[in-house]
Amino acid sequence: MAKTSARKVMATIAAASAFALVISACGSDNNSATPSSTPPTSTPAPETSAAPSSSTGTTSGSETTGGSATSGSASPSGSAIPTDDAWCDEIKAAYPDISGKSVSIYTSIVAPEDKPHIDSFVPFTDCTGVTVNYEGNKDFENQIKLRVQSGSAPDIAYIPQPGLLQTLVNDTGKVVPAPQTVIDNLAKYYDPAWAEYGSVGGKLFASPVGANVKSFVWYSPKAFATAGYKVPTTLDELKTLSDTIAATGAKPWCAGFESGTATGWPGTDWLEDFVLRTAGPDVYDQWYKHEIPFNDPKIVTALTAVGDYLQNDKYVNGGFGGPDSIATTPFGEAGLPLLTGKCWMHRQASFYAANFPAGTKVSEDGDVYAFYLPGDGTTKPVLGGGEFAAAFSDRPEVQAFQTYLSSPAWSNAKAKATPNGGWLSANKGLDTSLLANPIDKLSAEILQDPASVFRFDASDLMPSSVGAGTFWVGMTSFVRDGVDAASTLATIEASWPK
Amino acid sequence: MDWLFSPVTAGDKILSMIAAIVIFVVVMGAILLAVGNEKAPSWLVAAGFLGPVVIFLAVGLVWPTLQTIWKSFQTTANVIGPDNQPVRNPDFSIQKTTSFNFNNYKSIFTDSDLLRVLGNTLLWTILVPLVATAIGLVYAVIIDRSRFEKFAKTLIFIPMAISMVGAAIIWRFVYAINDAPGANQIGIANQFLVWIGLKPINFLNGGLATTFFLIIVMIWIQAGFAMTILSAAIKAIPEDTIEAAKIDGASGMKLFTRITIPSIRSALVVVLTTLAIGALKAYDIVKAMGNSNPTVDVIATRFITYFNSAETENLSSALAVVLFVMVLPIVVYNVRQMRKQEETR
Amino acid sequence: MTAGEIFVEPVDRKEARKNKAAMAAAETAKRISSPGASIIAIILAVLWTIPTFGLLVTSFRPGDVVPTSGWWTAFTAGGGGFTFNTYKEAWTTQALGPNFLNSFVITLPAILIPITLALLAAYAFAWVDFRGRNFLFVAVFALQIVPIQVTLLPLLKTYKWLGLDGSFWPVWLSHTIYGLPLAIFLMHNFMKEIPREIVEAARVDGAGHVKIFFKVLMPLLVPAIAAFGIFQFLWVWNDLLVGTVFSGSKNNAPLPLAVQQLIGNLGSGNRQYLLSAGAFIVMAVPLVIFLALQRFFVRGLLAGGVKG
């Protein structure tokens, strides 16, 4: 592709082209070493195991061996999942003749978390002979827009916020609607709410891949047992427990909003969780869609309830100081005082497990664990997030890969490829016994619980100038400057794009 | 030609680098050969010397700038259909209407905290160049020809070698605060306060004070630039000039103000100008260390914030134009300096 | 500075100059090393070094003690001691070796091309008379303020149209474009410092502009080129934005990009400490180069530093 148009350039550099061609003749031996220009016509298993690493091959040799190790063990040990072969036949039937093709995928997930993803594509490659080229970048959200607009879109992108999906569909028109096979998979294996978050204008564009549960309060089971505290089951009990702990002179809560250029996002999760609990999921939907103002009285009530915790110098900030220290405490370090007894509870998502130092026992009777942030005791609202796989091409191999990603086979392969935990999906076909980490298991069970009412992180659904802008700023000044709930929300409402 | 346009192996990469350099040398050689004739008219010479630069800058900077200016007068709105839903094109993108007006500028200049943002930006563009240059100059003069000159210069230069991202990491271990009773500090500045019996301060808690503390980080980085350039300029002062001044009885401060400063005048202007423009554009430090605090925002951070959201992209164009206007005084000052120099030359 | 003060030093007088320099050093020791000045210098040096030193110490501490105790406690009994693991982990998590190579491949042309072009342009602005010269110079100067972000998409489209995407060319060309306005501004100032008489004399001898540029001016500008070269090097070497946007694929990613990815995604806050080692890995090369280039700065920058 680059070759022909590159010649165009060369022609313009008249004085130099002759020389360059001489050099190129000398270097032509190396062409065969370029995987992207010469895809293998047939891809037996051992070769393809190296294929996912071709995009990363020069950066890490370990991925190559990791990939082959997974593929080697996949076929015999895969017998635990009965559908293991069925999915492959289905994909092959729907998308024949795609062997030897390749699919590029672009995500925000970087090393070392990218390796399980790369490994989880191996069964797909083994089945179809399609090579998957993986690339991760932490600045994904800005880069994907540039790539799509400049005509260099990847085949598949993992989009971390539905709001970004909306932007890409609405503004660029380059996102390709999901094929029927994906629509079918979603109907079968996912809660309808997830399909809605992957849709724009009533059309499904992206299927969910990873998921996380945000309605968690981290605590130390050991410390709770020693002190005789019980895990609260309603919001009122949570308040009572907080008061009990505060009465001992200790600060029951710790929190941290600092996250570099994204400072403030943990604060948005607090408010969202409380909106779900004090106003309910219907109001929540109206709120993020801006059918009611951002500073609707019901939202003010929710933020006031948050303020009872985060603006309360008897409650926060265990191990760090007063409420204003929340703004400058890095979110990754905010929960660490749980381990030293300087703090008792820390509201943060399931993925926070990765922030505890190596050797920390994360389990129901271990050093740390999390309980579900309770509601009124009868309903069970769940706040969460996740990524969605959107396609920028309708080539059959791309659609086959999309289909694979939305199937239980991929979720299970991914779970198997993530031995250290820290990942789960909302796929109902996910075998939770494959999840390595108790907190992942708990999260998956909450997501699969029919009683749960799942709602996606509202800040990811709002226009990014609010959801990744003024909302962060507002929540940060809420804790730092002790601004009251009404004016915090009024400021954010004023910034909503007209 | 894959090795040149999509190199994969280490050998190919190095080869493509060498090829790039060779191509560049050959092309430039050809151009210079063409205009190298003694009798070549000066417009041809200028075209040869400036041609590549003009092409690069026209494509890379001028054209995008014109587009930005154009966009700054645009506002877009979705086309709403009879069902009250946005109308979509066949590719599912939303149809938009574009109108030309001054709305972006209006919303910038009616922004309630615009004055503070402008004020902060001014503080940055004034304090960073002045203080960094002053420190660089004083340091360069003091260590000039001292025994530890190389080592001493390297110490001040080190922050230059650190990326802005790295600087944010480093300064976390200076400014970090923990004001829980009896807690360990991990920021050295607060530990210092504790050592001398004071309470720790939340340096990054917003307001004017935080702006100053962020400016300190920028000064810390840029003093190395000032020091390197000014030190070289000081060394270029001819020995005779100094000797002559000494014979006249000048020493110490007098030597500094009468001889050193005038002799390196143009270097000072260069350094001040470069640092001022750098400070005007700096957003990394405020973004990474400002804790999402609007009270420390400068124009460049607002620009980035707006630029990254699809809904506010046009607004960011208007801010870029404002940034452009703000650099004009610096341009004018430099042009006047140039004129003066031209006259004395 | 006037023309009469500039004179040329032949190479064979190097030795003599050395002695002279030694004498001058001894003499100036008297001249400025008042105790007050020395104290100021020492205070500045210490203040400037402490933050970096803190990170250096941090990079040798075990990761789990970093967020809970200050780096200065590392020297006390309960400080957790020292380890080389952070460097090992940083180097292996991302396998930084190839990124080192990429940075090298990116940096060399990205210094060479803009500096050469800037020298030529600066010469034209300083010594060639043509219509619109001043306007063009002011325009180039003003381009320094253009925020890089607005140029990203137009440039990406251009490279794509040229078929250059996926190679190092977009990175080289972009660094050239972004570096040119400042480079031309600085080089122009250096150029103008050269006395008119030198150029005029060459012109009288019948030399064309190309000859004057290479034979007369270039030798005088070596220190200026070295000084600017190191800054252009630093900007390119430490750059994150251009590398991220234009390097196209992970295969071509420069070092700072890989280091930035070190801490992984959300939920990997406990790897924050890896950045300390990463920062020093990135920093090592610029420091070596600065030390190596210092000898070019010994003599003057602005006047070409020539003596005889």
- Average of pLDDT values for A29-58? 33
Give the residue carrying structure tokens 């190095």: B14
- Mark yes or no for CB contact B14/C101 under 8 Å: yes
What share of chain A has pLDDT > 90, as a percent? 59
Question: Over 80: is that where the pLDDT of A130 sits?
Answer: yes
The range of the structural domain enclosing residue A324 comes to 216-372+463-495
Residues of B with Cβ-Cβ distance to C301 under 8 angstroms: 229, 232-233, 235-236, 267
Q: Which one of A49-58, A107-116, A403-412, C75-84 scores highest in mean pLDDT?
A: A403-412
- Mark yes or no for CB contact B311/A463 under 8 Å: yes
Which of C162, C165, C270 lies closest to A8 in CB terms? C162
A484 in contact with chain C, both atoms CB, cutoff 8 A = no
Q: What is the pLDDT of residue C298?
A: 52
Q: Residue A54's closest chain C neighbor by CA?
A: C251
Chains that touch A (3 or more CB pairs under 8 A): B, C
C282 vs C272: CA distance, rounded Å: 16
* Inter-chain Cβ pairs, chain B and chain C, closer than 8 A: 358
Q: What is the pLDDT of residue A332?
A: 85
Looking at the 3D structure of chain A, how many domains does it have? 2
Residue C203 exposed, middle or buried by CB count within 10 Å (0-12, 13-18, 19+): middle
C270 in contact with chain A, both atoms CB, cutoff 8 A = yes
A264 in contact with chain B, both atoms CB, cutoff 8 A = yes
Residues in chain A: 498
- Average of pLDDT values for A211-239? 94
- Average of pLDDT values for B29-44? 84
Q: What is the pLDDT of residue A57?
A: 32
User: Is B203 in contact with B175 (CB distance < 8 Å)?
Assistant: yes
- The pLDDT tens digits for B151-164 are 888 899 889 888 77
Same domain (yes/no): A401, A329: no
Tokens representing B136?
């660089």
Helix axes B42-57, C97-127, angle to 10 degrees: 140
Same domain (yes/no): A251, A271: yes
Question: Over 90: is that where the pLDDT of A132 sits?
Answer: yes
> Tens-digit pLDDT profile for chain C (308 aa)?
333 333 333 444 444 454 554 455 445 444 455 778 888 899 999 999 999 999 899 889 887 788 778 888 888 877 778 888 888 888 777 677 888 899 999 999 999 999 999 999 999 998 888 888 888 999 998 898 898 889 999 999 999 999 888 889 999 999 999 999 999 998 888 888 788 888 888 888 888 888 888 888 888 888 778 878 888 998 899 888 898 889 877 788 888 888 777 766 544 455 677 888 888 888 888 888 888 877 776 544 444 433 32
Residues of A with Cβ-Cβ distance to C68 under 8 angstroms: 336, 340
Residues of B with Cβ-Cβ distance to A473 under 8 angstroms: 292-294
- Mark yes or no for CB contact C145/B281 under 8 Å: yes
Give domain status of residue A458, yes or no: no
Question: Over 90: is that where the pLDDT of A204 sits?
Answer: yes
Residues of C with Cβ-Cβ distance to A60 under 8 angstroms: 94-95
Q: Residue C223's closest chain B neighbor by CA?
A: B232
What's A268's domain CATH number? Answer: 3.40.190.10
Helix (H, G, I), strand (E, B) or coil at B294: helix
B310 vs B300: CA distance, rounded Å: 17
- The pLDDT tens digits for C188-216 are 888 887 888 888 888 888 888 888 888 88
User: Is B232 in contact with C223 (CB distance < 8 Å)?
Assistant: yes
Q: What is the pLDDT of residue A298?
A: 96
Tokens representing B141?
């003069």
- Mark yes or no for CB contact B166/C279 under 8 Å: yes
C70 in contact with chain A, both atoms CB, cutoff 8 A = no
- Mark yes or no for CB contact B53/C118 under 8 Å: yes
Superfamily of segment(s) C84-297: MetI-like (1.10.3720.10)
Distance from CA of C186 to the nearest CA of B (A): 7
- The pLDDT tens digits for A148-185 are 999 889 999 999 999 999 999 999 999 999 999 999 99
List alpha helices for A292-437, DSSP H.
Answer: 297-310, 331-334, 337-340, 396-405, 408-416
- Mark yes or no for CB contact C180/B53 under 8 Å: yes
Q: Residue B174's closest chain C neighbor by CA?
A: C51
- Contacts for C307 with CB less than 8 Å, ≥ 6 apart: B238, B239, C7, C8, C9, C17, C299
DSSP state of A169: I
Confidence band of A22 (pLDDT split at 50, 70, 90): very low
- According to DSSP, the β-strands at A102-107 and A131-136 are parallel
- The pLDDT tens digits for A274-288 are 999 999 999 999 999
- Average of pLDDT values for A186-197? 92
- The pLDDT tens digits for A346-358 are 999 988 888 888 7
Same domain (yes/no): A368, A399: no
Helix (H, G, I), strand (E, B) or coil at A390: strand
Among A residues 148-207, those touching chain C with beta carbons less than 8 Å apart: 149-152
User: Is C282 in contact with C259 (CB distance < 8 Å)?
Assistant: yes
A388 vs A208: CA distance, rounded Å: 4
Give domain status of residue A156, yes or no: yes
Mutate to test the interface with A, among C158, C246, C250 (most CBs of A within 10 A): C250
B179 in contact with chain A, both atoms CB, cutoff 8 A = yes
Residues of B with Cβ-Cβ distance to A142 under 8 angstroms: 308
Q: Provide the mean pLDDT of chain A.
A: 82
Superfamily of segment(s) B113-344: MetI-like (1.10.3720.10)
Among A residues 79-108, those touching chain C with beta carbons less than 8 Å apart: 108
Q: Is the dihedral of CA C124, C129, C132, C137 positive or negative?
A: positive
Which of C52, C147, C210 lies closest to B158 in CB terms? C52
- According to DSSP, the β-strands at A156-159 and A380-391 are antiparallel
Among C residues 75-94, those touching chain A with beta carbons less than 8 Å apart: 93-94
Confidence band of A17 (pLDDT split at 50, 70, 90): very low
- The pLDDT tens digits for B60-110 are 999 999 999 999 999 988 898 888 888 999 999 999 899 999 999 998 888
Q: What is the pLDDT of residue A251?
A: 93
User: Is C9 in contact with C306 (CB distance < 8 Å)?
Assistant: yes
Mutate to test the interface with B, among A328, A333, A465, A495 (most CBs of B within 10 A): A328
Break chain B into its structural domains and give their ranges.
75-110, 113-344
Same domain (yes/no): A305, A363: yes
Same domain (yes/no): A408, A433: yes
Which of A5, A55, A349 lies closest to C251 in CB terms? A55
What share of chain C has pLDDT > 70, as a percent? 81
Which of C94, C156, C268 lies closest to A354 in CB terms? C268
Break chain C into its structural domains and give their ranges.
16-83, 84-297
Across A47-51, B240-244, C99-103, least confident range? A47-51
- The pLDDT tens digits for B117-142 are 999 999 999 999 999 999 999 999 88
- Mark yes or no for CB contact A356/C270 under 8 Å: yes
- Mark yes or no for CB contact C98/A61 under 8 Å: no
Q: Residue C153's closest chain B neighbor by CA?
A: B64
- The pLDDT tens digits for B271-291 are 999 999 999 988 888 888 887
- According to DSSP, the β-strands at A199-200 and A203-204 are antiparallel
Q: What is the pLDDT of residue C269?
A: 53
Distance from CA of C225 to the nearest CA of B (A): 11
Q: What is the pLDDT of residue C94?
A: 67
CA dihedral B114, B120, B126, B130 (to 10 degrees): -170
Question: Over 80: is that where the pLDDT of B344 sits?
Answer: no
- Mark yes or no for CB contact B288/A342 under 8 Å: no
A9 in contact with chain C, both atoms CB, cutoff 8 A = yes
Select the more confidently predicted residue: C294 or B171: B171
Among B residues 5-44, those touching chain A with beta carbons less than 8 Å apart: 5-6, 8-12, 15, 19, 22-23, 26-27, 29-30
What share of chain B has pLDDT > 70, as a percent? 99
Confidence band of A10 (pLDDT split at 50, 70, 90): very low
Backbone angles phi, psi at B140, to 5 degrees: -60, -40
User: Is A278 in contact with A472 (CB distance < 8 Å)?
Assistant: no
Backbone angles phi, psi at A28, to 5 degrees: -65, -20
- Mark yes or no for CB contact C154/B164 under 8 Å: no
Same domain (yes/no): A165, A66: yes
Among B residues 100-159, those touching chain A with beta carbons less than 8 Å apart: none
C98 in contact with chain B, both atoms CB, cutoff 8 A = yes
B338 vs B323: CA distance, rounded Å: 23
Residues of A with Cβ-Cβ distance to B168 under 8 angstroms: 260
Give domain status of residue A260, yes or no: yes
C227 in contact with chain B, both atoms CB, cutoff 8 A = yes
